[in-house]
Amino acid sequence: MDITWSNFKKQLPVVCQAIAEADFLAIDGEFSGISDGPSFTTLTNSLDTPEERYEKLKAHSMEFLLFQFGLCTFKYDDVKAKYIIKSFNFYIFPRPFNRNSPDKKFVCQSSSIDFLANQGFDFNKVFRDGIPYLNQEEERLLRDQQEEKRYHTNGASTTCYMYISPDASRAPVVPVIPDDQKDFIDKIVESVDEFLKDEEKKVLQLEPCTGYQRKLIYQTMNWKFPRGTHVETVESPNNERRMIITKVDEDERKNKEIQKKVKEQEDLNNAVGFSRVIQAISSSSKLVVGHNMMLDIMHTIHQFYCQLPNDLEEFKSLTNCVFPRVLDTKLMASTQPFKAIISHTVLAELEKRLQMPPFNPPKVESAEGFPSYDTAVGQLHEAGYDAYITGLCFITMADYLGSFLSPPQTHVSVQSDVISPFFNKLFLMRITDIPYLNLDGPDLLPTRDNVLHVTFPKEWKASDLYQLFSAFGKIQVSWIDDTSAFVTLTQTDQVQIAVNISRFAESYCVQKYAEYVAKKDRQSLSKRKRTDDGWMDFERKRTKTQYNLDQTFSTKKSINSVEEEPRPVSPEESEVLKEDTASPTASDAAESSKRPKTETDQAECSKHLL
């Protein structure tokens, strides 16, 4: 079901009910771009640490707009023995709803826009009828502004303040009238005096004036005529704003104030808009399933909650608050026992594969009043549809795990122990020796002792690196930037030889991975020392990290995927990928024999780094 601003308010209760009754939720986002700086290859270097990956995505992906959000709720019906689904496709746009609303800017990346355009994405629906939103800070600011405005301008009695604002200590403002406004304000006071004496007249309409003058009038009215009047500003069809003063008794005035407050509350709710859906998902604490969902989660928090923290550990805590339980189907499909039987984990490929033995595609049914998706004519890259098939993939894989239980189960509930090992781990794209970001604790720290860090002149190409290391057999090059790369050797014992040889070189510099990391840590340490955090803070974090490291190894044993061998990457592949500019149209990426489906990969990447 498409949800735009036109039907949002009507459908919000339906959405909230669907979330409340669901066994689990599947989500997916479509963005206006992926990287505002580095190429796709550099953004997802295969030797990134989780910290580096997070920092890069935070630095280069958050300026884009999440403008379509798919939510599919799944509720198991024991009688029918099938899932009943409700699918929603939200169009999102930071529409400025009034003059106080933030005028947001967002970046578009041509390749991503072009890719979505080719999929038939309806940009008019987003920009003309998208649902607005506020993050929590913006919501708070707006609430404060309303409060402040009410305090300065509202009503005309002290009792009124007590009703509107619980902060009764606030007395009406004594207006400070600039000299050049004194005549103007004196005349207004005079006319109000006359108006109050004239028993026939119920309403006084003032001449149009500036916003600044209106503010002064409000303050003066509060001060001089605290009772018996109601003051409001009305806007005419030709955009003129006039102030209207009405004689009212206390009941009438209170009533008007209540109405006004209700209206303001409604405006605020409207402005919070789509963020209320995310708040509903969050407070439900339901399992949230996504496919390659790191960017989805980062964008969702960034756009609808708050600015992302600089520190990865803080991001993990924050994610645990917003989404207490998440599951990434791309990670699940890349982990044993699935890894052995699933060769491609791109969403569309995965969905196809899971329809064949040994898997049993689940029975699902759209709830009454919800249109059903047909996977045969899939609307891939529509967020609602992608969320739907993500949910299907999850159910199929969960049910497959159930077949190993004794007795075997055809339906596995989300509470089952067979699923829990996959909770709160996000797939880390392309990083072969750290398969996931662990939201519940520290991440794996591979030694990478067959890896060299090489710096070289900007003119160097891949072929120069292959030539330089030609004595060491097959190598893998992972570009960091124009003048540095990681080079992975096949044999660890050759690392020292390469470092020794390089001591005589002037044009390039080679160091072991561990040395590079240590140097980088020292740099960020000295940087941190210069900040206000101080040494104590750093020490505390370091101790915490050491404690966490001990945990790592116990975690390591619990997940099969960690024990898998790194996927071998040929030097040619690195070469191809370096040439590739991450454009989703780059079909050249399809040619690596190791990754015959890279074209489809790239398609998905353009959306969310599969």
DSSP for 553-585 reads HHHHHH-GGGGSPPPP--HHHHHHHHH----TT
Q: Judged by CB, which is closer to a copy of itself: 447, or 587?
A: 587
Q: Using CB under 8 A, which of 108, 141, 367, 517 touches a copy of itself?
A: 108
- Write out the binding residues for a copy of itself, residues 56-95 only, by CB under 8 A: 65, 93-95
Task: Kindly state whether residue 474 participates in binding a copy of itself, applying the rule CB under 8 A.
Answer: yes
Confirm or reject binding of residue 459 to a copy of itself (CB under 8 A): no
| Least CB distance to a copy of itself at residue 462 (A) | 7
Per-residue contact string for residues 176-215; x = within reach of a copy of itself by CB under 8 A? x-xxxx--------------------------xxxxxxx-
| Spatial distance between the Cα atoms of 91 and 30, rounded to a whole number of angstroms | 10
| b/e sequence 387-413, b meaning 16+ C-beta within 10 Å | bbbbbbbbbbbbbbbbeeeeeebebbe
What is the number of other CB atoms lying within 10 angstroms of the CB of residue 38? 17
Residue 338 burial (CB count, 10 A): 22
Among 10, 78, 79, 110, binds a copy of itself (CB under 8 A): 110
CB closer to a copy of itself out of 178 and 337: 178
462: contact with a copy of itself by CB under 8 A: yes
* 99 lines the binding site for a copy of itself (CB under 8 A): yes
**Residue nearer to a copy of itself on the CB measure, 473 or 534:** 473
Task: Tell me how far, at minimum, the Cβ of 276 lies from a copy of itself, in Å.
Answer: 19
Considering only 16, 59, 106, 173, the residue that binds a copy of itself (CB under 8 A) is 106
Q: Spell out, one character per residue from 130 to 169, where the chain touches a copy of itself: x when CB under 8 A holds, - when not.
A: ----------------------------------------
Tell me how far, at minimum, the Cβ of 132 lies from a copy of itself, in Å.
9
Q: Which of residues 576-605 bind a copy of itself (CB under 8 A)?
A: 576, 579-583, 585-588, 590-593, 599
CA neighbor of 559 nearest in space, from 421, 435, 427, 438: 421
Touching a copy of itself, residues 3-42 (CB under 8 A): 32-33, 36
- Whole-angstrom Cα distance, residue 380 to residue 597? 16
Instruction: Considering only residues 210 through 269, tell me which ones interact with a copy of itself, judged by CB under 8 A.
Output: 210-214, 235, 239-241
- Segment 320 to 379, residues that bind a copy of itself, using CB under 8 A: none
Contacts of 24 (CB under 8 A, 6+ apart): 73, 74, 286, 287, 288, 289, 391, 394, 414
**Residue 571 touching a copy of itself (CB under 8 A):** yes
Stretch of 100-108, 338-346, 378-386, 399-407 lying at the interface with a copy of itself (CB under 8 A): 100-108
Tokens in use for 352?
A: 């196809």
Least separation in angstroms between residue 232's CB and a copy of itself is 15
Residues 128 and 219 sit within 8 Å (Cβ to Cβ): no
Give the DSSP H or E segment for 33.
Answer: none
Cβ–Cβ under 8 Å, residues 132 and 93? yes
Site size toward a copy of itself (CB under 8 A) is 75
Between CA 239 and CA 286 the distance in angstroms is: 47
* Segments of 220-270 assigned E as strands: 229-235, 241-247
* Nearest distance from C-beta of residue 281 to a copy of itself, angstroms: 24
Work out the angle at residue 86's Cα, subtended by the Cα atoms of residues 82 and 89, and round it to the nearest 5 degrees: 145
If one asks whether residue 114 binds a copy of itself (CB under 8 A), the answer comes out as yes
Distances (CA, A) of 89 to 20, 75, 413, 478, 506: 18, 18, 25, 38, 57
Could you tell me the two tokens for 174? 């004594």
